[in-house]
Amino acid sequence: MRALRLTAWGEPPTQAEVERPAPRGGEALVRVEATGLCHSDLHVMGAVPGALPYRLPFTLGHEVAGRIAALGPDAEGLRTGDRVVLYGPWGCGACDRCATGRDNYCDRRDTLAWHGVGLGRDGGMAEYVLVPSTRHLVPIDDLPADQAAPLSDAGLTSYHAVAGLRHALGEGTSAAVIGVGGLGHLAVQILRATTGSRVLAVDVREDALALADRSGADFGTLVRADTAHALRARTGGAGVDAVLDFVGTTQTLELAAGVLRPGGELAVVGSGGGRLTVSKPGVLPPGFRLSLPFWGTRPELAEVVALARSGAIHVETERFPLSAAPEAIDRLRRGRVRGRAVLVPD
């Protein structure tokens, strides 16, 4: 079968012919229908040797949807032919976090040579992907694959970040989303569908604000010198109850701190490498709470899938054949993908 393999750090991935795996024990073989391309894939490809614990080569792709093609003799719960989305963060499988579907916070994360499917383990940029256990599979029934695949990271990560703030987002509150790309446009929809908040969107690109608007944001603004003032004005001056920062640069972290009301919540999702100084007293609002959510849990993935099946969330996608992966990667690198790029085996 064909697969897009990372064979050397810092080099573009290569299209290779590899053997189609056969499932043993509790494993499942999934015929891939669609795989999302994530910014993290760019970070993985561009990593310097030693920066990540992964062993080369491996097949990329951690947002995967498809149909079960074969099951090992001990596989439980699902049947050949079932359509599924893969829960992507694969932990040790033995700690109590993994046992309760929270592989994203596996206690043994630092001892593993992978972070999940397509992240040190063979992933979904291929015709088939081998899954170690059916516990990593969530049924999608008839949800289109290009919708389902991005739910497993872009959707799940956004959902998990919103879930951590939900207690602060009742009726009459406001939430700001900084960065309206593959994750941010889903965060806007998830906030609208699952909280009482008004949603304020911030981006540096006009077309991202148009996407925020289509996603249901109540207000959108470009990043300018007076952005904090513009956001505060939308809350009657008090400040916003929560900020979801999908960028994570020093500029966006400072913007977030500058628009939060006392007791406000900041969830930093983007890995922009920015810094915010914590000091008391200092410039952060009193009662300020910070979280660094990472990916999401398996039960949350089932909830995101249910939301998408109900029509409450729609992923904006651009489809590329798997053979055109280099073009999709190039477009993503240049910030030229609208929503999520999705690769489809051709």
Residue closest to ligand FEH, measured at CB: 40
Angle (CA) 202 200 301, round 5°: 90
Supply the angle between the helices 184-194 and 298-309 in degrees, to the nearest 10: 80
Is there binding between residue 115 and ligand FEH (CB under 6 A)?
Answer: yes
Q: Which residue has the tokens 């719960």?
A: 77
How far, in Å, CA of 255 to CA of 240, rounded? 12
115 binds, among Zn ion, ligand FEH, none (CB under 5 to 8 A by kind): ligand FEH
Calculated CA dihedral for residues 271, 273, 274, 276, nearest 10 degrees: 90
Q: How far is the CB of 316 from ligand FEH (least distance, A)?
A: 18
Cβ neighbours for 237, distance < 8 A, ≥ 6 positions apart: none
- Please provide the DSSP assignment of 272-327 as one string: --------SSSSSPTT-EEE---S--HHHHHHHHHHHHTTS----EEEEEGGGHHH
Eight-state DSSP code of residue 251? H
Task: Read off the DSSP letter of residue 48.
Answer: P
- 253 interacts with Zn ion by CB under 5 A: no
User: Smaller CB distance to Zn ion: residue 52 or 95?
Assistant: 95
Of 117 and 259, which CB lies nearer to ligand FEH in the complex structure? 117
Q: Is 40 in the site for ligand FEH (CB under 6 A)?
A: yes
What track of x and - describes contact with Zn ion for positions 71 through 110 (by CB under 5 A)? --------------------xx--x--x-------x-x--
Selection from ligand FEH, Zn ion, none that 90 binds (CB < 5 to 8 A by kind) is none
For the CA atoms of 259, 183, 170, 217, the dihedral, rounded to the nearest 10 degrees, stands at 70
Q: Which of Zn ion, ligand FEH, none is residue 157 near (CB under 5 to 8 Å by kind)?
A: ligand FEH
Q: What is the C-alpha to C-alpha distance for residues 240 and 289, in angstroms, rounded to an integer? A: 13
Tokens, residue 223? 């990043």
153 binds ligand FEH (CB under 6 A): yes
Closest distance to Zn ion from the beta carbon of 96 (Å): 8
- The residues in 287-346 that bind ligand FEH, with binding defined as CB under 6 A, are 295
Quick one: 136 or 232, whose CB is closer to ligand FEH?
136
Nearer to ligand FEH, 64 or 119 (CB): 119
328 scored as a contact of Zn ion (CB under 5 A):
no
Report the C-alpha gap between 256 and 247 in whole angstroms.
11
| Site for Zn ion, residues 112 to 171, rule: CB under 5 A | 153
Distance CA 315, CA 311 (A): 10
Q: Which does 106 bind (CB under 5 to 8 A by kind): ligand FEH, Zn ion, none?
A: Zn ion
Chain residues that interact with ligand FEH, rule: CB under 6 A: 38, 40, 115, 119, 153, 157, 295
Chain residues that interact with Zn ion, rule: CB under 5 A: 38, 40, 91-92, 95, 98, 106, 108, 153
